[in-house]
Structures are given as C-alpha cells and as structure tokens.
Amino acid sequence: MREFYQCDFDIAGTFDAMVPDAEILRIICEVFEELGWNGRYTIKLNHRKILDGVFAVCGVPEDKIRPISSAVDKLDKMPWADVRKEMVDDKGLDGEVADRIEKYVMNKGSRELLESLLKDEALNANASAKAGLEDMALMMDYLEAFGVLDKISFDMSLARGLDYYTGVIYEVVTEGSAGVQVAVAENQKPSGKKDKGKPSEDDDRSNDPTLGVGSVAAGGRYDNLVSMFLPKAQIPCVGISFGVDRIFSITKARLEREQKSAALRSSEVDAYVMAFGGKGFTGMLKERMDVCQKLWNAGIKAEFSYKLKPKLPQQFKAAEQGAIPFGIILGEEELAAGKCRIKEMGLPDGHPEKEGVEVTLDTLVTELQARLAKKQDGVVTSLAQQLQGTTV
C-alpha cells in the first residue's frame, strides 16, 4: 500500500447552491498563488449530474454508467480511440452509443461551452443534466465575482472515481507534475524489488490526488457521505484534498530551476522586443527601436535584433538563450491599433497567459514593470522563505 501526505479543506452544512463550492475553488487559487505558482495551474471542473445526464441521453445502460465513467476519466492520459476501444471491447458498450458520448466528453472550455450545453435540447430534457447545468451557471457567476474564472477549465471528460460525489467535481493540474510523481514513486521503491502496490486502473484516484496524470489536488461535493456513517445525519459537504508530497516536489523543483536560471543568465536584460508580420513584412526595425527607447527611458533593460527583417523564431531563440524573462511582441495589426503583447517566457502549455497579454503602448511600461516586480519578489524570495529548511 502506498503512503502519502494529504491536506484537506472542507465546508460542511446546508447553504445556498454553489456558494461554498465556489469559495473552495477560490481557496485553491489562494493556496497555489501563495506558493508562488503564479497561475501555472488549471482547475478542471465538471458536475456529476451533467455527466450522468450525458450518459443517459447517449443511451448508456444504467448498470454500465460507472464503468463507462471510469473509462472517460482516462482521457487525460489516453487518446479517444483507446478509450472507445475499452468502452466497446472491454465494457460491452454499443459502438454508436460510444460515438454519441464522444461528441460531449471531448469538449472543454468556459462560459462558451456552458452556453452551448444550455442550448442542447436533449440535455435540457434530462432532469439530471438540467440541474447540473443550472448549478454550473451559478458557479461560473460566483467564480467571476471571486476573480478566479480564468483559472477554470470546464472539462466534460473529468469524471472522478467514487460514487459518493453528488455535484461539482474538480482536479488541479499543472504541467510537469506527472513527471515529478513518477520520479518520487521510483525513489520510494526498495532496491531490486518490484512495486506490488500498483493501483488497478479503476482505483479511485481522488483518494490520492497524486495518482491523477498531472493532478496535484482534487475534490468535489459529497452530500450523502456523512449519512453513511451517521444514518440520522444529513450533512452536505464540499471540499478539496491537496497532494502535499507532489506539491512540495514541484514547488521545490521550480524554485531550483528559477534560482539556476537566474544564476546562468547570460545577460541582465529584462525584455526582448521582437516583431512579426505576413507577406511584405518590413521587419519594423524603427518601431522596435522606438519601443526599446521607451523601456530604456523607464529604466527597463531591453534588447532587440539588429537585423532589418529578423525571423520570429530567431528572435525567440535569442531571448531564450539569454534567459530574458519577457518578450515584447509587435504585430502589424496590433501596432496599428496602438497595442503590443507582453509574453512571459517559459510558461507551460495551458497557462492562461501562454500566448502573452495584449496591452496598449501607452501602458506597456507600467504593465511590464508590474510583471517584473512580481516575478522577482513573488517567486524567488517568497518561495525561498517558505522552503527554507524543508525536505521532501
């Protein structure tokens, strides 16, 4: 049996719909921001009632709903073709039913996905799906009020393992976390011995958040669990479990990378000004010079390519080789509108600012100064203080 450390936060009691659920997600964001993750995580969100409604609408027999749910939950580590094969060949589901399921569970997004599902007549005719969609609409309103909606991915493939979940379900994922867990697990194996504690494919991974691919925390609403132990008590609950071992491993590794990157920087440049365009691209050398001088005048160390028409990949390579933290990207259309894009280098796939943030040229200096200050003070300093003397 595998041993792991876990930290839980739960809210118990009867409250208006989705209010405590939304606060749990806000708390999740606060935890990871305090750890200095700076948005490098995503909260995958779904609802058991929506998922059950989808299965019913698609024609899944009631006795196959849980096995099919388990198969769908593997879409984070298996392609649809393999999941479909498991559904049909191993679990005996009709192929046409599996194809109907695909049209739903392959979707992920935010409000736009919810709005699309709210217009789905078949789903809204199902009582379970309709109730789940109404909950999700409330949830997104509250998450927007809490300022964390941009951290959420409404993921129709998220299913989770245990039957006791009755409402919203969620997992926190981050790039590279699966790899860290593999390393930790390997280090825990006795030399020359096989790991006899390998979990079966249908084991509940919510019990140990580190078992999910890339997952560092997981949870959801479980309104009936308490009554299983206290039959006379009906106490609705919602909560989150943090995988402490994995979170510490990732945080420590990121801190070490940050410190190593800072030590190995070949320059002290803060930003690399680059440009791109389509056919007839002139290189925008004068415009790049103009942006650089604005940054220089504000005390920001900036560079640009001396080439008249540099290729964008070459400009990115120059920034990466110098470990320059930010790129200022000038595009022909954006520049015509008085805008540019600030891109933090090295952000993982799936990060909400992976492609950069559009700002006006008038606010470029203040926006970049704020990001530079946050990167310097919020990552290395705070993490060093929190992890001083910590071993994992």
Q: In this structure, what are the phi and psi dihedrals at residue 3, rounded to the nearest 5 degrees?
A: -105, 140
Per-residue tokens: 202: 């249908």
Strand pairing report for 326-331 and 339-344 = antiparallel
Q: Is 195 annotated as a binding residue?
A: no
Return the H-helix or E-strand segment holding 137: helix 127-146
Instruction: Give the helix/strand (H/E) hosting 107.
Output: none
DSSP code at position 200 = P
- Annotated binding residue 265: no
Q: How far apart are CA 131 and CA 128, in angstroms?
A: 5
259 is in an annotated binding site: no
Backbone φ and ψ of 242, nearest 5°: -95, 130
Query: Would you state the torsion angle of the CA atoms of residues 233, 237, 242, 243, taken in this order, to the nearest 10 degrees?
Result: 50
Question: Is 41 assigned a ligand-binding role in the annotation?
Answer: no
Determine contact, residues 372/378, Cβ cutoff 8 Å. no
Task: Tell me which amino acid residue 256 is.
Answer: E
Compute CA distances 351 → 41, 80, 153, 178, 196, whole Å. Answer: 7, 23, 11, 16, 36
Structure-block tokens of residue 252: 């420590």
**Nearest one of 79, 21, 9, 78 to 46, comparing CA atoms:** 21
d(CA 116, CA 237): 29
In whole angstroms, give the CA distance from residue 364 to residue 55.
49
Phi/psi of residue 172, each to 5°? -100, 125
Positive or negative: CA dihedral 310, 323, 378, 10: positive
Q: Is 144 exposed, middle or buried (0-12, 13-18, 19+ CB in 10 A)?
A: middle
- Kindly give the pairing relationship between strand 168-173 and strand 108-109: unpaired
160 labeled binding residue: yes
Closest CA to 159 of 205, 190, 91: 205
Binding-site positions for L-histidine read 6, 10, 160, 164-165
Binding-site positions read 6, 10, 160, 164-165
